[in-house]
A and B are shown apart, each in its own frame.
Chain A
């Protein structure tokens, strides 16, 4: 079993839709939860991070963590064609492993006009 599972999609939605991206993880020691966005032919870039259960909002993006279920989500409201990219969840155990990120497989998202 992989430490982080993410549905690879692909996911295709119309402009303006609400998008939900999800990951599950197996190790309860994980402490930090991130979402990275990767455009085609580019390196990943950090989109959002959180280290506690609950919601964190940044503009059209909301990251949600449920540590009891080992489940993390990213919601995108009013999705735009420019949001078309691969979204990768990433998890960090912290402590001596701080910075050693474990990534999900990535979900390919296409937002069409």
Chain B
């Protein structure tokens, strides 16, 4: 158990809808990272927050947004969902402003029908 929690575990929704994925980092970790894992694209970095501030951005679509709250939990919002957004979404955390040593949560499996 990495200490990172993600909810929900599974999410099934329809195209055009909006969903929110939630992540709680390990105790004491200030950075939260979001990744998308799909069969064709592999594991891709989306965005990083450090202590409430956006720190780095990857290949995140404009339809996706994230934020980190004062209690350090983070939410990833996905809107106008398309079939291609079906994937595993992982949250990871680390202590400092950026680290290769990231602790991953169990993921949220999103299915868009």
Binding site for B on A (CB under 8 A): 32, 34, 41-46, 49, 88, 90, 92, 97-106
Contact = CB atoms under 8 A, between A and B. Distances in A.
Interface string B77-113: 0000000000000101010011111111111000000
A98 B48 CA distance: 11
Given A98-B97, A100-B98, A103-B45, 18 more contacts: A42-B106, A43-B2, A43-B90, A43-B107, A44-B90, A49-B100, A49-B101, A88-B43, A90-B100, A97-B56, A98-B99, A98-B100, A99-B31, A99-B48, A99-B97, A101-B33, A104-B42, A105-B42
A81 B89 CA distance: 27
A44 B104 contact: yes
A6 to B, nearest CB: 8
B10 to A, nearest CB: 11
Interface of B: 2, 4, 31, 33, 42-45, 48, 55-56, 58, 90, 92, 94, 97-107
A45 B101 CA distance: 9
Contacts of B58: 100
Contacts of A106: 42-43
8 contacts: A43-B92, A43-B107, A44-B90, A45-B103, A97-B56, A98-B98, A100-B48, A100-B58
